[in-house]
């Protein structure tokens, strides 16, 4: 998965149709429920990172249907709680996910899909992370 993440990060947005078509099996495999809901937090983070790269590559068109997008957003939002561990080895990945989410305005898609609970969870998570970091530096 780490290799997949690195390869995806090297791709430009809107690759040639032949390139994208060759990647479709991976695009479909990465959103299988057993990966999206994997028990290992590191696996989930790598899956979320891959999916963020996929959405960046395929933007502005989402590569998945609405139900899969909702599962993807649940996974993505769950990664943000780790932002409070600024010295942790996965902090950089979490920041990249956050930056990608912001740059490609994925939150707008969340609102279109009426994922109000996830938007609320993002807000609460960011407030909790900000409080934690604030108290940590005091």
Write out the DSSP string of 22-87.
Answer: HHHHHHHHTT-HHHHT-S-HHHHHHHHHHHHHHHHHHTTS-SS-HHHHHHHHHHHHHHGGGGG-TT
What's the rounded Cα separation, in Å, for the pair 100 and 114?
20
Q: In this structure, are residues 100 and 55 in contact, taking their beta carbons and an 8 Å threshold?
A: yes
What confidence score (pLDDT) does residue 94 get? 94
What confidence score (pLDDT) does residue 136 get? 80
What confidence score (pLDDT) does residue 112 get? 92
Can you say whether residue 38 is alpha, beta or left, with left for phi > 0 and alpha for psi between -120 and 50 degrees?
A: beta
Q: In this structure, are residues 63 and 55 in contact, taking their beta carbons and an 8 Å threshold?
A: yes
* Statement: residue 13 has pLDDT above 90: no
* Statement: residue 138 has pLDDT above 80: no
What confidence score (pLDDT) does residue 48 get? 96
pLDDT digits (tens, 9 = 90+) for 110-133: 999 999 999 999 999 999 999 988
What confidence score (pLDDT) does residue 105 get? 84
What's the rounded Cα separation, in Å, for the pair 128 and 113?
25
pLDDT digits (tens, 9 = 90+) for 31-87: 999 999 999 999 999 999 999 999 889 888 888 999 999 999 999 999 998 998 989
What's the rounded Cα separation, in Å, for the pair 57 and 45?
18
C-alpha closest to that of 110 among 102, 33, 5 = 102
Q: pLDDT-based confidence at 107, cuts 50/70/90?
A: confident
What confidence score (pLDDT) does residue 61 get? 83
What is the pLDDT of the chain when averaged over all its residues?
91
What's the rounded Cα separation, in Å, for the pair 128 and 115?
20
* SS3 state at 2: helix
* Statement: residue 104 has pLDDT above 90: no
What confidence score (pLDDT) does residue 128 get? 92
């Amino acid at each position: 998965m780490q290799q997949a993440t690195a390869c995806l990060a090297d791709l430009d947005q809107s690759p040639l149709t032949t390139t994208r078509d060759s990647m479709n099996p991976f695009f479909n495999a990465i959103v299988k429920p057993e990966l999206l809901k994997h028990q290992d937090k590191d696996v989930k983070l790598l899956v979320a990172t891959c999916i963020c790269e996929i959405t960046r590559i395929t933007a502005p068109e989402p590569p998945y249907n609405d139900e899969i997008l909702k599962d993807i957003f649940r996974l993505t939002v769950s990664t943000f709680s780790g932002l409070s561990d600024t010295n942790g080895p996965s902090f950089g990945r979490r920041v990249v996910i956050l930056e990608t989410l912001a740059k490609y305005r994925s939150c707008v898609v969340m609102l279109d899909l009426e994922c109000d609970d996830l938007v609320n969870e993002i807000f609460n998570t960011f407030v909790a992370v900000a409080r934690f970091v604030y108290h940590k530096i005091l």
